[in-house]
Structure 1
């Protein structure tokens, strides 16, 4: 089986599907046209359709590094060197009419992924009718993957825009004139979707579980490791949905199951060497601690010059440009890494900076170098990168459970989990008597997950946004946490209203 076809060739199919179901609606240009009567006939159609959904979600998150704009830039750690569009987001000036900011305000790429998922759920059964080689197990696993992706995509939409249209069927021609659904309704829906997917997903695709036997799409477990949905990733998604709703009882339940079954899932806490490994490791997407990532591996011709954090953060000596687009100021670095012996970043007794999170600390523009997945070795004049967008990894899962336990009144267990991360990063044990354990967990998430698209969402969940932005409690009540809608979205669907805080 041609691995390249599975990993990236299927994304070409994305254009085919969109041209059939929602070309006008979503304004994502197709690359090929295929007559409807020729679709959904053979098992390869199903394979391409399912992995095309993964490709569309990757496209939505990587477009102008959208996942960083939504999840990282608004949190205040990164600042822009010269780009006014990035500066608008770091300063939470989302009324900006900069072209790239308008792109980030536009949810059409997310709804393209949802349209693809809806189409798969409606049409995959036809493949089984038409091709005996497409088995009942193929169908079950493919549907579970697609339902998981639809839930994950809506979870991004809810966290970014709040109330959004809930569309669960394919739309012909134009985008349906659908009003927004309340975000609690969306969260109810995606909880049900993730639970349904969970029931049919295996812990691993090794053919050793009731949910999956033999090979999934003729590939071994090592091929699928960390890059498609599995039980661990489903539990982690459900845990985050519950935490977003403030239902920490459910968060603790889901995270406990995922952690207790880490041997089945094949994940664990990893050392700092693998975390910052430039030739694989976490940010290639198939590390021992990654539960789900969207890869861009050069082996499968997926590397590119944009849609990767390195495109914003790296400069000489790693790539041939003088200044990165974003950086974390020296003072902020010292605020984040304010404990001795942290092997992610620290200052030794002689004043030398240690660790791979940063390069050039002390210079006017220190470089965030934690993630450096260059697509070639040595000089890289084309500035191509192959870093994966890591959606879920084990350290997040552990810290999320610690967070839940705090809100459930069990600081001792929460501290044990927190220390399981701290000990791997060279830090001494935290003791409940040292201070406020919730603050310690938030600080550890800031250090461990820096640059991975979590900071803003963490601040929202911990209700800490006023402490790190210009927003007041009144602004937050009026909807300042959510993004405004682009002019294109508003003009395309007259049933919508602009998010309240951004109406004036």
Structure 2
């Protein structure tokens, strides 16, 4: 799935933005920030096929905005304690060092959960009102069931995403029209249980492919007028729901469930046209929002050039790209980079230079063999170019460049490594090595096997570090690894005292007296 806006329905960027704005203004988090921002009579907007379609598009658009705004996806998941360093921005340096209560506009913006509650309230409104669209004969029962399943899945995913960032968050599952009560935070366990049960309930109501072959005729044959080749990697599929379930279970340390959910995704991958991606396609096509047949973004957020979704923000390229010998840009230095020490730790010379993502000749000091992840390795500041989808003329790209890369939450390689993690924890060593070596082999690395000095779980997380660099997983992987190992006293303190979660924005606290700051940041 790629939760895109215009590509999904192909009805124009203005309609998407209008739908998102109506939903945002009409139902934005009355329970949390008290102030009503209602601007339209919602009852008059739920009686046609077009209303359902634009309402659903609005949900995807709001969710994409929530994770992309201020490059928040990488602030939350990639920078803190990770491999990237800041070149010149003190706000990014503060995030990297874990000073999350530092006074910077960027940090204040990404500690504010309001955008996520715009998604929650819009989803609640859609679920409650979209049945009215069945008054239009074109909006059949099969459309209704499928659309509601998507809305519930979007809401569940949003709650999971928030819980990883802030821990306890208010759980709101209906619009509560006319109610302006302040609501406290709900325990993370309750929130994640709700998200899991929602995904379990709706997964059977989601197809493996939209407008695909459906002998049982459960799903619309030509969903919103588009065939399966036009749907490509959008929107939420059944396998996407199971991938989300796997990650909810992993965050809670329920590895038996992780093994079950990931097994379902792996065993049914071909039904959604999922496959492992070669290294060259990983860096050139997987993250490109406009590449045909890109089903492999299992859960992601697209910015399609053909639909006018090219943007200058919400892409990691904005932070990582700068001029290189092979790729000239007007921007001379990136905002963040991976130091040579971190590169050497992630891609050791003991691999013999065979890693196709980035390989260094073990017999030479700086001779690179593969440069799919990094360029300008000989310079003081190497350029991370694994994800580089720049729109327009290369020579003019730089300070004002615009991009088309997708934000990929998960893909088949990530799920197989998550499965390897679960199997290692469960003591199923041979099966774990099989999954791990499967990923190593497609990246040019030799298989590994048990040995007296080899720790399987460490090897799995080392491979996740290499494979998923720049995709927003590093911080969450560190949390899970240290929860399992408990050998790092400083990280143990973060876990035990709630320091793994972000502080809540002061704006949120000011608007609702029942919301309390995370104890670590008080």
Which interval holds the TM-score relative to the shorter structure? Answer: over 0.9
**By how many angstroms is 1:76 displaced?**
2.2
**By how many angstroms is 1:208 displaced?**
1.6
Q: Is the 8 A contact 1:327 1:367 kept in 2?
A: yes
**By how many angstroms is 1:37 displaced?**
4.4
- Paired residues for 1:248-397 under 5 Å: 248-277=255-284, 280-284=285-289, 287-316=294-323, 317-338=327-348, 339-340=351-352, 341-348=354-361, 349-350=363-364, 351-353=366-368, 354-381=370-397, 382-397=400-415
Q: Distance in 2 between the 1:415 and 1:231 partners?
A: 27
Q: Is the 8 A contact 1:12 1:31 kept in 2?
A: no
Q: Is the 8 A contact 2:246 2:257 kept in 1?
A: yes
Q: 1:437 to 1:469 in 2, by over 3 A?
A: closer
Are residue 219 (structure 1) and residue 237 (structure 2) matched? no
TM-score, length-scaled by structure 2: 0.90
Are residue 408 (structure 1) and residue 421 (structure 2) matched? no
The residue number in structure 2 matching 1:423 is 441
Are residue 200 (structure 1) and residue 205 (structure 2) matched? yes
The residue number in structure 1 matching 2:475 is 456
The residue number in structure 2 matching 1:84 is 90
Q: Is the 8 A contact 2:32 2:511 kept in 1?
A: no
**By how many angstroms is 1:377 displaced?**
4.6
Higher mean C-alpha deviation, range 416-425 or range 333-342: 333-342
- Indicate the SS of the match to 1:293: strand
Unaligned ranges ≥5, structure 2: 1-5
- Indicate the SS of the match to 1:395: helix
Q: Distance in 2 between the 1:409 and 1:163 partners?
A: 31
**By how many angstroms is 1:464 displaced?**
6.3
TM-score, length-scaled by structure 1: 0.93
Higher mean C-alpha deviation, range 415-424 or range 199-208: 199-208
The residue number in structure 2 matching 1:121 is 127
Q: Distance in 2 between the 1:26 and 1:161 partners?
A: 15
Q: Distance in 1 between the 2:151 and 2:22 partners?
A: 17
RMSD: 2.5
Q: Distance in 2 between the 1:52 and 1:471 partners?
A: 42
Q: Distance in 2 between the 1:269 and 1:459 partners?
A: 24
The residue number in structure 1 matching 2:509 is 490
Unaligned ranges ≥5, structure 1: none
Q: 1:465 to 1:106 in 2, by over 3 A?
A: farther
Q: How many residues align?
A: 499
Q: Is the 8 A contact 1:319 1:383 kept in 2?
A: no
Q: 1:319 to 1:26 in 2, by over 3 A?
A: farther
The residue number in structure 2 matching 1:143 is 148
Q: 1:30 to 1:309 in 2, by over 3 A?
A: farther
**By how many angstroms is 1:175 displaced?**
6.5
